[in-house]
Amino acid sequence: MIQSSILGCRMSRPGQWLRLLLSSRAKFKTGDERQAYAIEHPEPLLHFALCSGSHSDPAVRVYTPKRVFQELEAAKEEYIRATFGVRKDRKILVPKIVESFAKGSSLCPAGVIEMIQQSLPESLRKSIKKCQLGKTRKSIIEWVPHNFAFRYLISKELVK
């Protein structure tokens, strides 16, 4: 409820697809006390902060009020570096969470590729450029389905 209604960060989870399909477009009914806590404009970077214990979720991290946007940006870049891949047929493999972020940020396929390149070290940027040769930007991205197997990944800053 916090993730979807209050933070506005909608991710499909097993067993929730029917509820999301049938739910009304309004987040809360008139007079619902939870409406006071809902944010007006959802922040797409939250996709890289929310962990519900799925294998595909980002690492559990601590965020501070003063640096929350910088820390969310760092979480995005860390997540992309950890989950990015390239197949032999020169397809870029990217998790569905990145697709959700791209939709929330209104990024076109070219913008997604540019964002991925900015998150990677120079050695891996070259592999993306090889993928782009002779293909449209939309056709080189393959969205990896969410893996709902249980796993909590703890950020190394929390282990200290």
The answer to the question of residue 23 being in a domain is: no
The answer to the question of residue 38 being in a domain is: no
Q: Tally the domains of the chain.
A: 1
Band of residue 33 on the pLDDT scale cut at 50, 70, 90: confident
- Across the chain, mean pLDDT equals 84
The answer to the question of residue 12 being in a domain is: no
The answer to the question of residue 118 being in a domain is: yes
Neighbours of 102 (CB within 10 A): 21
42-92 per-position pLDDT tens digit: 899 999 999 989 999 999 999 999 999 999 999 999 999 999 999 988 899
What's the rounded Cα separation, in Å, for the pair 3 and 35?
Answer: 13
The answer to the question of residue 11 being in a domain is: no
Amino acid 10: pLDDT: 62
Amino acid 95: pLDDT: 96
The answer to the question of residue 71 being in a domain is: yes
Contacts of 49 (CB under 8 A, 6+ apart): 58, 61, 63, 72, 75
- pTM here is 0.79
Lowest mean pLDDT: which of 5-9, 21-25, 69-73, 121-125?
21-25
The answer to the question of residue 31 being in a domain is: no
The answer to the question of residue 8 being in a domain is: no
What is the extent of the structural domain holding 59? 43-159
